Amino acid sequence: MWKLTALCVLYAVHAASTYSSKSMAAMNEHEVVPDVIAVAPGDKIEVSYPSGVSVDFGNVLTPTQVKDIPTVNWPADSDSYYTLCMTDPDAPNRKEHTFREWHHWLVGNIPGKDISKGETLSEYVGSGPPPKSGLHRYVFLAYKQPSKLTFSEKRLTNRSDENRAKFSISKFAAKYNLGNPVAGNFYQAEYDDYVPILYKQLGD
C-alpha cells in the first residue's frame, strides 16, 4: 500500500513539474512575460468553456467559443483568499497596443477557488478582437491575497466597455500587495462573426 501511495505522490510531483515547465515555456515564448507579468506562475489555471473548449497555454480559440463565462480551477488553499483576472495586452493589436491592457474579468476575495463567492470587480466579457487585428493573447492569472481586501476600484458590468482599457494587472497586484501570480494560463483569438454582437452588448 505504501508503494502505491509513494507512486501517487511521485506522479503528482511530476505532473506539477510538467505543468510548471510548460507554463513558463509558453508564457515566455508568447511574451506574456514580460508584456503582462514579470515571472511565469508555477501552477496551471484550468479554464473550461460551456462550448466544450479548454484553454491550453496559447491554443487558438474563437470569440464564439469563449463568449460565456468559463469554469475555472487552480490549486488553492481553502482557508485563503484569491484574486482572478483575465486580461488582453494586445488592444487594439499586438504591434500597436495603445490600450494595453483591456481587462475582461476581475474577481477578488475568492475564498479558496469558489469564484461564485468572490467579489466581482469587473463582470466577464468574452474576446472581442477588432477585424484584421490578428491574434490577441487572453491571459488568466490567479493571485493569493495576504488577507481579505477592501477594493477601491469601480465595479464594472458586462454591458459597457468603459474603464476596461489601459489596465495593468501588475500594477493592480502591487497596489494590493498580491505578489506574483500563483497560477496562470492563456489562449489566443482573432475576430469572428460573434464580435459585432459583443460590441453591441458593450454599447459600441
Q: Write out pLDDT tens, residues 41-99.
A: 999 999 999 999 999 999 999 999 999 999 999 999 999 999 999 999 999 999 999 99
d(CA 118, CA 185): 20
Q: Which residue has the cell 491592457?
A: 101
Give the model's pLDDT for residue 86: 98
Report all structural domains of the chain as residue ranges with CATH numbers, in order of start: 2-201 (3.90.280.10)
User: pLDDT, tens digit, for every residue of 158-180?
Assistant: 999 999 999 999 999 999 999 99
Strand duo 46-48 + 59-60: pairing: unpaired
pLDDT band for position 12 (cuts 50, 70, 90): very low
Do the Cβ atoms of 192 and 129 come closer than 8 Å?
A: no
Assess whether pLDDT exceeds 70 at residue 39.
yes
pLDDT band for position 22 (cuts 50, 70, 90): confident
Alpha-carbon 58 to chain mean position: 12
Find the mean pLDDT for residues 124-134: 97
**This model's pTM is above 0.85:** yes
Assess whether pLDDT exceeds 80 at residue 7.
no
Do the Cβ atoms of 195 and 128 come closer than 8 Å?
A: yes
